[in-house]
Amino acid sequence: MAILQRFLQGMLVLFVLFTITFFLIKALPGGPFQSGERAIPAHVRAKVEAYYGLDQPLHIQYTRQLGNLLRGDPGISMRLEGREVTEIIGQAFPVSLRLGVFAMGLAILTGIPLGVLAAWKKNSIIDYGAMAVAMIGICIPAFVVGPVLAEIFGRRIGMLPAMGWSPADPTSWLLPAVTLGLATAAYLSRLTRAGMLDVLNQDFVRTARAKGVSEMRLLVRHCLRGGVIPAVAYIGPAFAFIISGSVVVESIFAMPGIGMHFIKAIEVGDAPVILGIVMLYGILIITANFLTDLAGIWLNPRLRKS
Amino acid sequence: MFARVMISPRLITAVLPAVAALVSCQRGNQADTAIDEGILIIGNAAEPRGLDHHLVTGVPESRLITSLFEGLASDHPYLDDVSPPGAAKSWDVNEDKTDWTFHLRRDGRWSDGEPVTAHDFVFSYHRLLHPDLAAYYADMLYFLVNAEDYNRNRRSKILLSNDRVPGATWEDFDGLDGSPDESVDTDGLGSPPEWERAGDEEARARFVRARGLDHLPPEALDWLLESPDDRYSWPASAAPEQIRALLTALREHHGEDLFEIANVGVTAEDDHTLRIRLRESVPYLPSLSCHYTWFPVPRHVVLAHGEITDRFTPWSRYPNLVGNGPFKLKEWRFHDVIEVERNPHYWDAENVRLNGIRFHPIENPYTETRAFLAGQMHASYTLPPDLAETIREKHPENLRQEPWVGTTFIRFNTTREGLSDVRVRKALALALEREQFVEHIFEGHTTAVSMSPEMGEYSPEPVLEFDPERARELLAEAGYPNGEGFPRYSLLISRSSARPQAETAQAMWDKHLNISITIENRDWGSYIAAQQNLEFDMASAGWVGDYLDPTTFLNMWMEGGGNNNTGWHSPRFEELLREAATKSDAAGRFAVLRRAERELMNGMPVAPISHHSRNYLLHEAVGGWYPKLLDNRPWKHVSLER
């Protein structure tokens, strides 16, 4: 029942998202057929706009676009003329997905252990060091981290590509993924530290220690599950953060992902592509949040009743 | 369970060595590897909107298309005013330079092995001009006789001019305009106007004017035929039976493609002879034919994927695309790479030096520069101006700065109060210290002395100078002594990279004329729209030449020109341009164009500042790569050598 309710909520959110995005695009001045200095003659513009149905009244354009999306076909790009939006997303999404998953994996694998370590050695050099690194990770934006990493590892040391993307060459994913995942790793480590400290201060920990449980077992077996709850709750929003961050990172490393298409489509007001990508992002974020909630329920038995 | 997976020691032991292995392997230099393979890797600025050269307009597209297709003539490896034979082996021309006959190569082949014929060229020009294709760049072919009428679908004129209306000629209908009248109120007719919605006589009359006589559905023509005189305002010179005859002809030919009837100036005399008739003298036609709008499309491939007027067929995608150029399409991944490889069917294949070219559409010039310096590319597309100094110091051997036919200027809206006074416009132009712009802002540019840059034999009269004294006098004469009471204009820019130049102009006007302006930064779409609708005061703009002739910088300032956007026009200026079009000798023609340019600068609808330069990085191993004024890369001459 609750799941059905969440599903309907999600649909409603998507509908509102579509409507707002559609009318925002229409409010943009210019339009997709004016990308250069050269003016397009009026008779040509009229023909092309008719081709895309842009000469129709707004409400007809709206219902037609909505109908297309419901059928799973966002239409044809106006920038990459004649290309199906599904073809564009089909090429670009695997790149962004791989980048996102890799970045998220890196963030989880470094952020959570670092947070556990910092909590365990509270107020030690390790704690201060880890949290200082985390603070830096949060504060420095990707458009600074990316070029600096590319300059150092791409050019000075020369062991990783400074740009580009090759599915067969994992070294080309590394710098973009680190750039993208750094801030998330930093957040996760701070959240994990806070969560772990909470748990480590509880009575059962003292009891366990008194019974002679080893520190490793104590941390992993007894505390981690409770300690990572804030971090896990953050993974849903972090996913949204990674998606929006990939727009910047893809530009820095010239990667053929969704982000590049998104920026270019917005620049020229390519409505079918913008709507296609916004809806995809919407579905992904709603799903991620839903899964995060499920994970939270699974980790925290007190939530299960509600 | 969950927690254990997270930091399981086994996982760590599995992942760590893998990461270490990835990181520790020293990378081979991609650019060096590619030199051995004979593959050139270059930056290409942006993902092309497509590779159907009838439908695109941009520079990145142009660079790709010139590797895949070839025009009648081709680009010389280093000379700008020489166009060696391309798809045509030779050509003849009449005295006037208006009637050209091109002899195509008998061994010319498309990349699928089919012969390249004159019919392919006729088909291509037909397609580009077809009113239903709605190609953005169709006006590049308006040089052909009757091409403009055909492309604008002036059906009445075409029928009247070509004996399709018994008893009537175009002269009888002097002043007839069959194009849509945008001033007509279309309330209740729908958008676009629909015949079914026009219920009564009055609404139908409005419908006819709104759509234009040349674009009416058969029902509307029938309705007009019932009582032509009181349902449309005809030129007084046309007799009633002539009007009836015209309407009947329009009705008869409704929906028909008028290419043949219009007698457009391109015909195939036989399979390998192409005749081109021009409406004006164009001595530079061979050079013009190196612009991609003049390239052929493979008729058999285009028609295999759709009709002549279909915009979105897959003929120009991988693997369908077939060209007649030195290279053919090998791979196309959006925003990643377009790779071309040697075309074995190319007539001059044995003299093509490269095995292939990889075009990377890198939008970010800093990323591109980093990639070049990291050994991932042989040529970058553009160098950010702020990096020029560092590169000049550390990598002088890679820095290229070459003149490029383009002009940066400030556009004035001459319909604005104040700016409508030519003295004000001149004062603003004279107060700009161009040396400062060139030295500090436009890396590699040269100062402009007029609208057109120097090209070949043509050099404009130097009329622009820095003369603050005279500028102040002019401003005082116009009623603003010492800048008093001068309106606070805004200078429109797009992209923050234009801000330094705008601020420099702002400071110079403040210093020399004691006037202050504001700077307004808008996104590209509204920046363009504001200029087209004359809803701006001044705008910082640029223009790059399409072909190597001053008319590419002058024709745009004619009345009603789509790129004029100043509200300025001058009958004298246009008369001189028309006069130049009748001159077939280069020297005489340029003399008239020089006078036209002087006339333009006299009206000063724009204040030119500098002429463009192409700044980029080039690998030492690249050979056969010379500066070209139009920045056309004759790819077949480019080579890679250690």
pLDDT for residue A306: 53
Q: Is A92 within 8 Å of B374 when comparing Cβ atoms?
A: no
Report ipTM for this prediction: 0.90
Query: Measured between alpha carbons, how far is residue A182 from residues A143, A174, A179, B8, B176 in Å?
Result: 12, 12, 6, 22, 69
Confidence (pLDDT) at A6 = 87
Residue B4, pLDDT above cutoff 70: no
Query: Higher-confidence residue: B528 or A36?
Result: B528
* B27 with A38: Cβ contact below 8 A: no
Chain B residues touching residue A30 (CB < 8 angstroms): 523-526, 528-529
Report the amino acid identity of residue B362: I
Report yes or no on A166 lying in a domain: yes
Q: Can you name the residues that pair with B640 across neighbouring β-strands?
A: B622
Where does the pLDDT of residue A40 fall: very low under 50, low under 70, confident under 90, or very high at 90 and above?
Answer: confident
Chain A, 166-195: which have a CB under 8 Å from a chain B CB? Answer: 170-171, 174
Summarised one tens digit per residue, pLDDT across range B374-422 is 999 999 999 998 899 999 999 999 999 999 999 999 999 999 999 999 9
Task: Name the residue with higher pLDDT: B370 or B58.
Answer: B370
Give yes or no for a contact between B41 and B358, defined as CB atoms under 8 angstroms apart. Answer: yes
Phi-psi group of A74: left, alpha or beta (phi > 0 → left; psi -120 to 50 → alpha; rest → beta): alpha
Within 8 A of B132 by CB-CB distance, chain A residues are 47
Longest dimension (CA), chain A: 86
List pLDDT tens digits, range B298-348. Answer: 999 999 999 999 988 899 999 999 999 999 999 999 999 999 999 999 999
Q: How far apart are CA B621 and CA A87, in angstroms?
A: 38
What does the DSSP assignment read for B224-259?
HHHSHHHHS---TTS-HHHHHHHHHHHHHTTT---H
- Supply the pLDDT for residue B28: 63
Residue A30 in this model has a pLDDT that exceeds 80: no
CATH code: domain of residue A262: 1.10.3720.10
How far apart CA B442 and CA A221 sit, in angstroms, is 64
CA gap A143, A149 in Å, rounded: 10
DSSP alpha helices (H): ranges in A121-170? Answer: 125-139, 142-149
Coil, helix or strand at residue B140? helix
Residue A186 falls within a domain, yes or no? yes
User: What's the pLDDT score for residue B12?
Assistant: 47
How far is B88 from B80, CA to CA, in rounded Å? 19
Report strand pairing: B99-104 vs B273-277.
antiparallel
Query: Which of 163-222 (B) contact A at CB < 8 A?
Result: 179-180, 191-192
Interface of B with A in 555-614 (CB under 8 A): 562-563, 565
Query: What's the confidence (pLDDT) of residue A268?
Result: 83
Which pLDDT belongs to residue A218? 87
Asked whether residue A54 is assigned to any structural domain, the reply reads no
In a domain, A169, yes or no: yes
The average confidence (pLDDT) of chain A is 88
Which of A25, A35, A61, A291 best probes binding to B when mutated, by most B CB atoms within 10 angstroms? A35
Q: Is residue A211 part of a domain?
A: yes
Residue of chain B whose Cα is closest to the Cα of A225: B3
Task: Please tell me the total count of domains within chain A.
Answer: 1
- A245-258: b (≥16 Cβ within 10 Å) or e: bbbbbbbbbbbbbb
Q: Considering only CA atoms, which of A286, A299, A277 is closest in space to residue A12?
A: A286
CB contact under 8 A, B311 and A51: yes
pLDDT at A38 over 70: no
Phi, psi of B453, rounded to the nearest 5 degrees: -80, 170
Q: Which of B6, B23, B191 sits opposite A159 (nearest CB)?
A: B23
- Per the CB < 8 A criterion, the answer to whether A227 and A199 are in contact is yes
Could you report the per-residue pLDDT of A52-91, keeping only the tens digit for each?
888 888 899 999 999 998 998 888 998 888 899 999 999 9
Confidence band (pLDDT; 50, 70, 90) for A302? Answer: confident
Backbone phi and psi for residue B540, each to the nearest 5 degrees, phi listed first: -85, 125
Neighbouring C-alpha atoms within 13 Å toward the C-beta of A263: 21
DSSP string, A80-106: TTT-BHHHHHHHHHHHHHHHHHHHHHH
Gap from A254 CA to chain B (nearest CA, Å) = 6
Cis peptide before B326 (omega within 30 of 0): no
Chain B touched by A57 (CB under 8 Å): yes
Note whether B32 contacts A: Cβ–Cβ < 8 A: no
Max CA pair span of chain B = 98
Query: Could you tell me how many residues make up chain B?
Result: 642
Structure tokens at B154: 């002036």
> Mean pLDDT across the stretch B477-490?
94
Q: Which pLDDT score is estimated for B8?
A: 45
Residues A38-44: what's their mean pLDDT? 73
Percent of residues, chain A, with pLDDT higher than 90: 45
pLDDT value at position A34?
A: 62
- The amino acid sitting at A227 is G
Query: CA of B108 to nearest chain A CA: how many angstroms apart?
Result: 30
Average pLDDT, whole number, for chain B? 92
List phi, psi (to 5°) of B385. Answer: -55, -35
User: Which class for A213: exposed (0-12), middle (13-18), buried (19 or more C-beta within 10 A)?
Assistant: middle
pLDDT at B2 over 50: no
pLDDT in the model for residue B9? 46
Q: Which B-chain residues 78-107 have CB contacts (< 8 A) with chain A?
A: none
Is residue A82 one of the residues assigned to a domain?
no
Query: Is the CB of residue B368 less than 8 Å from the CB of residue B380?
Result: yes
Q: What is the pLDDT of residues B48-89, one digit of tens each?
A: 989 999 998 888 999 999 999 999 999 999 999 899 999 999
Chain A stretch 65-124, residues whose beta carbon is closer than 8 A to a beta carbon of chain B: 76, 79-82, 88, 91-92, 108-109, 112-113, 116
Q: Which of residues 33-62 of B touch A (CB under 8 A)?
A: 46-47, 49-50, 52, 55-58
Which residues constitute the domain of residue A205?
Answer: 93-305
| Residue B182, φ and ψ in degrees, nearest 5 | -75, -10
CB contact under 8 A, B367 and A91: no
Nearest to A163 by CA among A253, A259, A258: A253
Reduce the DSSP state of residue B550 to 3 states and report it. Answer: coil
Is residue A21 one of the residues assigned to a domain? no
Question: How would DSSP label each residue in B573-590?
Answer: HHHHHHHHTT--SHHHHH
Q: What is the pLDDT of residues B93-119, one digit of tens each?
A: 999 999 999 999 999 999 999 999 999
Nearest to B50 among A37, A38, A82 (CB): A82
Nearest to A48 among B131, B134, B362 (CB): B134
Phi, psi of B70 (to 5 degrees): -140, 140
Q: What pLDDT does A62 receive?
A: 94
Is A76 in contact with A272 (CB distance < 8 Å)?
yes
> Does a structural domain hold residue A66?
no
In our burial notation (b when 16+ CB lie closer than 10 A, e otherwise), range B213-222 reads: bbbbeeebbe
Question: Between the CA of residue B184 and those of A128, A202, B187, B208, what are the distances in Å?
Answer: 74, 80, 9, 10
A215-234 residues touching B, CB cutoff 8 A: 220-221, 224-225, 228
Mutate to test the interface with A, among B136, B211, B563 (most CBs of A within 10 A): B136
